[in-house]
């Protein structure tokens, strides 16, 4: 981390904050600070970097990635009790939704970056206990994946499994069982019965069934 900090400070002194190389160094340093749970410092660097990127007035990938990273750090700070839950998660959700909408417009709903942003949004909404909104976001993605990729595509089955996890959190055992079973059977066909992802879905299904039998 000392090396990253020195690089950032050197670039800031030589090039100024608005230079792309300084922003790049700031984001790398913020990523490292996040891993060491220095959330407040990481948030400050993400915010400053985002301000510079947004001032450019262009839809650059780095800008959307920075918004997602800021969203994630806000969620972490809420979980750590460092920020007010309502305001922290409210801003985090708004940032995440904005990225989803931008990716859908610029990259299309099936791009990996788009689906990753949707999964992130669903996690955010689960944290807020807004299961209905999380389910709506995932079902919209699933419908598009089923239509254009097919029901047994690996990306489709990933979303099916994520929905199973959501229903599990919601204490909806029937919904969890249905989706874990579909994911396990689909992954067994597509990836093979011994693939790690198949095992993950199968284990989740077995755990859900075991709850029913208690």
Instruction: Tell me the pLDDT tens digit for each residue of 108-149.
Output: 999 999 999 999 999 999 999 999 999 999 999 999 999 999
**What's the pLDDT score for residue 148?**
94
Give 3-37 pLDDT, tens digit per residue. 999 999 999 999 999 999 999 999 999 999 999 99
Superfamily of domain 1-128: Tetratricopeptide repeat domain (1.25.40.10)
Token pair of 124, please?
A: 């955010």
**What's the pLDDT score for residue 60?**
86
Alpha helices, H only, 16-59: 20-35, 39-55
Dist CA 32 CA 43 (whole Å): 12
| Terminal Cα-to-Cα distance of the chain (whole angstroms) | 49
**What's the pLDDT score for residue 112?**
93
> pTM (2 decimals)?
0.90
**Burial tier of 140 (Cβ tally within 10 Å: 0-12, 13-18, 19+):** middle
**What's the pLDDT score for residue 144?**
95
Give 35-67 pLDDT, tens digit per residue. 999 999 999 999 999 999 999 887 889 999 999
CA distances from residue 174 to 11, 46, 164, 165, 210 in whole angstroms, order as listed: 55, 41, 9, 12, 12
CATH topology for 132-214 is 1.25.40
The residue ranges of every structural domain in the chain are: 1-128, 132-214
**What's the pLDDT score for residue 36?**
92
Dist CA 64 CA 62 (whole Å): 6
Mean pLDDT of the chain: 94
Q: Which residues contact 132 (CB under 8 A, 6 or more apart)?
A: none
Query: Are the CB atoms for 45 and 33 separated by under 8 Å?
Result: yes
Region 139-160 average pLDDT: 96
**What's the pLDDT score for residue 19?**
94
Q: Does 132-214 match 1-128 at the fold level?
A: yes
**What's the pLDDT score for residue 56?**
84
How far is C-alpha 139 from the geometric centre of its chain's CA atoms?
16
**What's the pLDDT score for residue 26?**
97
Region 154-171 average pLDDT: 96
CA nearest to 47, candidates 76, 19, 17, 21: 17
Q: Which residues contact 119 (CB under 8 A, 6 or more apart)?
A: 138, 162
């Amino acid at each position: 981390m000392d090396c990253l900090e020195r690089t950032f400070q050197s670039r800031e002194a030589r090039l100024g904050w608005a230079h792309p190389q300084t922003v790049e160094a700031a984001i790398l340093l913020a990523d490292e600070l996040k891993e060491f749970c220095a959330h407040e410092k990481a948030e400050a660097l993400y915010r400053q970097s985002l301000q510079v990127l947004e001032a450019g007035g262009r839809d650059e990938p780095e800008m959307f990635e920075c918004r997602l990273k800021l969203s994630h750090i806000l969620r972490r700070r809420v979980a750590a009790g460092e920020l007010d839950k309502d305001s922290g998660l409210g801003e985090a959700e708004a940032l995440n939704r904005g990225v989803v909408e931008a990716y859908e417009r610029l990259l299309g709903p099936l791009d990996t970056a788009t689906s990753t942003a949707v999964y992130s949004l669903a996690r955010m909404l689960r944290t807020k206990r807004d299961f209905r909104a999380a389910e709506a976001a995932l079902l919209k993605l699933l419908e598009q994946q089923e239509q254009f990729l097919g029901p047994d595509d690996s990306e489709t089955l990933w979303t099916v499994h994520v929905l199973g996890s959501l229903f599990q959190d919601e204490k909806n055992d029937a919904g969890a069982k249905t989706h874990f079973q579909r994911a396990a059977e689909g992954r067994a066909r597509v990836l093979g019965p011994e693939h790690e992802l198949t095992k993950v879905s199968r284990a989740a299904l077995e755990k859900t069934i075991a709850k029913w039998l208690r």
